Amino acid sequence: MTEAAERLDMNQMIRFDSLNGFVAATDLGRIASHYYVKYETIEMLNTGVGNVKLTQLMTDDNVLTLIANATEFSQIKVREEEFEDLEELLEYCPLRLKQGGLATVPGKINCLMQAYISRVNIRNFSLMSESLYIQQNAGRLCRAIFEIVLRRGWAQATNAFLAMAKCLEKRVWPFETPLRQIEDLRFDIYEKIERKKLSYYQLCEMSAKELGSLLSCDGQRIYDAVRMLPSMYVEASVKPITNTIIQISLTLTPAFTWNDRFLGVRGAQSFWVFIENINENMIIHFENLIVNKKMVRLAEAQNMVFTIPIRDQQLTHNYQVRVASSYFVVDDSVVPISMHNCVLPSAHRPHTDLLDLDPLPIKALKNDIYESIYNFTFFNPIQTQVFYCLYNTDENALIGAPTGSGKTLCAELAMFRVFSRQPTKKCVYIAPLKALVRERVNDWSEKLGRLMKIKTVELTGDHTPDLRSLAKARLVITTPEKWDGITRGWETREYVKDVALVVIDEIHLLGVERGAVLEAIITRLKLMAAKRRPDGSHVRIVGLSTALANAGDVAEWLNVKDSGLFNFRPNVRPVPIEVHIAGFPGQQYCPRMALMNKPAFKAIKSYSPHKPVLIFVASRRQTRLTAMAFVAQLVTEDDPRQWLHMDVQELECLTQTIKDESLKLTLPFGMGMHHAGLQQHERSLVEQLFVERKIQVLIATATLAWGINMPAHLVIVKGTEYYDGKTHKYVNFPVTDVLQMMGRAGRPQYDNSAVAVIYVQDVKKNFYKRFLYEPFPVESSMLPVLANHVNAEVHAGTITSKHHIMAYIADTYLYRRLFANPSYYEVPETTPEALTAFLVDVVDSCVDELLQSKCITVDEEDETISSAPLGRIASVYYLQHETVRFFSMALSPQCTVEDLLRALADNPEYGEIPVRHNEDQINAQLQRYLPIKLPAECAMDSSHTKAHLLLQAHLSHTSIPTDYVTDQRSVLDQCVRILQAMFDVSLLYGWLATALNVVTLLQMIMQARWHTDHPLLVLPHMTDEIIERIS
């Protein structure tokens, strides 16, 4: 056993530790196992055979020579009586034979492979038998070597082995026409095309008439045949992120038609996407793309985004995108990527050094009540350094520090100053998630309310306090969207004018899709501050963030002076963290997640056998699968309940109210699960048991990293991808999310050090090794949604002309970043004239969009912009301008309730309801039990279809899967304001019948009943049976 392990280790097929006997798989070993390749063949590939070795540059004859020398063919013999037949076959071999010709076994195998590709009929029975054996194995071996060179990043060799694998499988040479794979064409047509040397792309460019006259045949048939071969149309663009990182965006559209007879009734086509550095002959990134029949029929574009590091000298290199069919011999789609016009942003300002200061005692607060809130005696080093700025000045501040650094206390210091100096003023705390808002409300209501009598209110979609409560509150805790909606009419709201401090948590989320709302809020806050300055009043802004690459830009935009900017390095945290990053192979998501279970279990045993462990996964399903895999591991241990630190009888009493069967099973093993599919009391119980250290392991979805502060000694991030229902594929978590999860490692009260283990797909390992320690810059996300925010300002009266729109943009973060990183925003040139022209185009397109939606009107004489009724509806009800445009077109004078329900589900606000993996099948099953049947052509993987089904399920009281409960809540949360907007649109156009039916639909939603149900059903405990007996 030891000798075999050492030989495998020598050939890099495993990693063998001879001291303790541990064995670990390698990529080479996994590929050999997957393709059933013998050990001796791998050894031959590592050492080479004669003058032929596996290198970065491989010719077709060398490719076949390597395959012919594989140990899998060792039983094939050379016989004298076969020489005459082999000599005949040799005439059909376009590539020369190496390693001794037909007199050797590799030469014979090479000849038979080429004869097979050339479609030669073999008459000799022994050669027929051996040829059949070679056919069965050569393609598999070629695919294995393709995977090996792909992992090594050798571009030319990868293309050579992939091309040869397809040749062996389809029996077509690359120099022949790919139409030979379509067998129902006449043989003379193939010969004419090859004689005229017409390439695949030349055939694509010709019309049916041109093909018919050129080839003297039915041109339409050739035209259709050319378009049956799988290929993709590729568009590529490049954006610089930093001076060492670029982002390549691809749009891939199917450029072929799906023929059931040729490609199958079901199934899909596979393509390899390679990003190649031509100068270095290296593949710098690769992915496998699956395109199904529906995507081809609808010509759906697939978007892919790659973030790639570059070195200074690589700026002058040539890059290209190559998209190759996995199984068909057809010309690759190749698109060059030019870096010559790409202007990289300049290097960013250095981080703030953590000064070696003596820890500041809490006595520095000089307030007995404030001091009594805390159960420690000294501030940590970061809090000590920022204390003076936050507690003793009114300057704006930006604090960038890793998660777990005590930034929440920094916010409290700024609040204390307002509470002490401005007793009539309010503080506003803006958090990105409702869960985080709820945590802050619970914490501050207890700390500030009980000891300081500070009234705290929550302002979210779930909680909207009355005006009296808002007027009395000193602290408002809200989400960005809610505060944006309220401040749109700030001049008429006194409680908004009373705000003296706005704390924006996680301000680095400016760069994500929702970040445009934060940008609009801060732009409006700056306007408020400018208007209030003559009165001597001031709105202070304090931003809290992780470490930023371009903190200087954000600080300047927030009007933060140098004395208020603190941007500490990612490794500056109260509890030092040790990070381990491990890569796992495989293109398929679920098998790759399953591969991570055993290493994760071992990581717990190694790094945190007795301390709390937090495991983050991407979905509710993965929490269950991971927990069950751990249960299977634990039952083989001497102590299966080693993670349970409480009496079993006590646990049984606590779990009597739990309905989730998986949670009931895992808790006795000391494991909890936390996801949105659990009921609130179940989540609260799990949180309580974990915080009290009664259970040791908590497996949670990634949103827990933002929502609840429950640190652990060990954090495992099990996969960095999640299924995006909008694009119907797995996409990477933002780096900020991964940093947030890592930040939960380390408990300042208990740990001197912490551990974070990150499990990623192997091809992304280098990406995370670099970017987890090199913070990303924050870019603006305002541009795609600028029209919505301009519409709100037009309604508020802030904007009345194009000049005002330009002035509004000049106050945004977008304006600052346009000049700092113009290529990111696709500005064609970096001259002042080009930037001005770009901004003029942005303003014009913004106005055109709003005019198209009938949200604004423009006076023809003086070009004054004013708000139209539809624009006011969009602004008041916080809707996209596309939504009111949709309603103005979708509604009619005589809409029925069913029509309105369909219009409600189809509106753009529901365009991002997640449709997860395989939920299209669940939607199809759910529809059978609901009263309104959707049309046959309705896409079951559409967000709008799912919204329609969730609304029907709500009205029918139909039970839905656990994962759908949160989605239904999200749909219903938005329902009221959307229906109110529909009602206003109906009144605007004078459609009385439609307006009354909108009211009926709103009543249905509020009462969870169909309008055809008996009125008494709205009473509690009423059922159809009781009503029948009464009547």
pLDDT at 871: 94
Measured CA to CA, the distance from residue 238 to residue 233 in angstroms comes to: 17
Burial of 493 (0-12, 13-18, 19+ CB in 10 A): middle
SS3 902: helix
The CATH classification number of 577-772 equals 3.40.50.300
Joined tokens for residue 875: 């602004």
How far CA 823 is from CA of 238, 239, 246, 251, 939, in Å, comes to 8, 6, 10, 18, 37
Most confident region among 458-472, 484-498, 671-685, 897-911 by mean pLDDT:
897-911
Give the closest residue to 747 by CA, choosing from 413, 404, 508: 404
pLDDT over threshold 70, residue 348 = no
**Where residue 534 falls among pLDDT bands split at 50, 70, 90?**
low
Indicate if the pLDDT at residue 438 is higher than 90: no
> What confidence tier does 764 reach under pLDDT thresholds 50, 70, 90?
confident
- Going across the sheet that includes 282-292, the strands are 282-292, 268-277, 319-325, 333-337
Weakest-pLDDT range from 92-96, 460-464, 833-837, 932-936: 460-464
Q: Does this chain's domain 362-567 share its CATH topology with 577-772?
A: yes
Span 230-337: which CATH code? 2.60.40.150
Distances (CA, A) of 430 to 460, 810, 821: 10, 24, 28
At 671 the pLDDT is 93
Instruction: Write down the pLDDT at residue 652.
Output: 83
Residue boundaries of the structural domains of the chain: 36-175, 230-337, 362-567, 577-772, 783-873, 879-1025
One of 1.25.40.10, 3.40.605.10, 3.40.50.300, 3.30.70.141 is the CATH number of 362-567, namely: 3.40.50.300
d(CA 254, CA 232): 5
> What is the average pLDDT across 879-887?
95
pLDDT at 156 over 90: yes
* 37 pLDDT more than 80: yes
Whole-angstrom distance, CA of residue 606 vs CA of residue 714: 10
Residue 25 confidence (pLDDT): 78
> If you average pLDDT over residues 384-409, what whole number do you get?
91
Cβ–Cβ < 8 Å for 887, 903: yes
Question: Under 8 Å CB-to-CB from 287, ≥6 apart: which residues?
Answer: 272, 273, 304, 306, 763
Burial class (CB in 10 A: 0-12, 13-18, 19+), 13: buried
Per DSSP (E only), the strands in 768-915 are: 856-858, 865-867
Three-class SS of 288-325? EEEEEHHHHHHCCCEEEEEEEECCHHHHHCCEEEEEEE
Burial, 89: exposed, middle or buried (Cβ in 10 Å; 0-12, 13-18, 19+)?
A: buried
**Interval 967-991: pLDDT, tens:** 898 899 899 999 999 999 999 999 9
User: How confident is the model over 494-515, as a mean pLDDT?
Assistant: 87
Residue with tokens 């007199």: 103
Binning pLDDT at 50, 70 and 90, where does residue 763 land? confident
Tens digits of per-residue pLDDT, 630-644? 999 999 888 888 999
Q: What is the CATH number of domain 783-873?
A: 1.10.10.10
Q: What is the pLDDT of residues 125-142, one digit of tens each?
A: 888 898 899 999 999 999
Helix (H) or strand (E) holding 283: strand 282-292
Whether residue 1025 has pLDDT greater than 90: no
Name the more confident of 546 and 884: 884
Residue 840 has pLDDT above 90, yes or no: yes
- Beta strand residue intervals within 361-498, DSSP E: 397-400, 426-430, 456-459, 475-478
The mean predicted confidence, pLDDT, of the chain is 88
- Architecture, CATH, for domain 36-175: Orthogonal Bundle (1.10)
| Per-residue pLDDT, 759 | 94
In this prediction, residue 675 has a pLDDT band, given cuts at 50, 70 and 90, of confident
Q: Tens digit of pLDDT for each residue in 848-877?
A: 999 999 999 998 888 899 999 999 999 999
pLDDT (mean) for 56-79: 89
Nearest to 154, CA basis, from 230, 231, 62, 242: 62
pLDDT in tens, 462-473: 666 777 888 888
pLDDT (0 to 100) of residue 707: 66
Angle at 941 between CA 940 and CA 942, to 5 degrees: 90
Q: Return d(Cα 313, Cα 148) in angstroms, integer.
A: 28
Q: Residues 610-630: pLDDT tens digits?
A: 999 999 999 888 999 999 999
Per-residue model confidence (pLDDT) at position 632: 93
Please give the Cα distance from 582 to 765 (Å, whole number).
7
Asked if 519 and 812 count as a contact pair (C-beta separation under 8 A), the reply is yes
| pLDDT tens, position by position, 204-237 | 888 888 888 888 888 898 898 999 999 999 999 8
Of 590 and 389, the one with more pLDDT: 389
**What does the alpha-carbon distance between residue 416 and residue 1028 come to, in Å, rounded to a whole number?**
63
Per DSSP, 412 falls in state: H
How high is the pLDDT of residue 536?
A: 65
The pLDDT value given to residue 462? 65
Q: What is the mean pLDDT of residues 25-40?
A: 86
Q: Are 44 and 70 in contact (CB under 8 A)?
A: yes
Which pairing describes strands 754-761 and 714-718: parallel, antiparallel, or unpaired? Answer: parallel
Number of helices followed by number of strands (H, E) in the chain: 45, 26
* Residue-wise pLDDT tens digits, 250-289: 999 999 999 988 888 888 899 999 999 998 899 988 988 9
pLDDT 10s digits, 45-55: 888 776 778 89
8 Å CB contact between 978 and 1004: no
Sequence-distant (6+) residues with CB within 8 A of 435 are: 703, 706, 707, 708
**Spelled out in words, what is the top-level CATH class assigned to the domain 879-1025?**
mainly alpha
Using 50, 70 and 90 to split pLDDT, how confident is the model at 351? confident
- Count how many residues are written for the chain: 1031
Q: What is the DSSP letter of 909?
A: G
Q: What is the pTM of this model?
A: 0.82
Is residue 890's pLDDT more than 90?
Answer: yes
Condensed to tens digits (0 to 9), the pLDDT of residues 78-89 reads: 888 888 888 888
Residue 765, pLDDT above cutoff 90: no
Are the CB atoms for 157 and 319 separated by under 8 Å?
no
How far is the C-alpha of 405 from the C-alpha of 870, rounded, in Å? Answer: 46
Structure tokens at 434: 């409702």
Distances (CA, A) of 202 to 163, 175, 223, 561, 869: 20, 14, 11, 62, 54
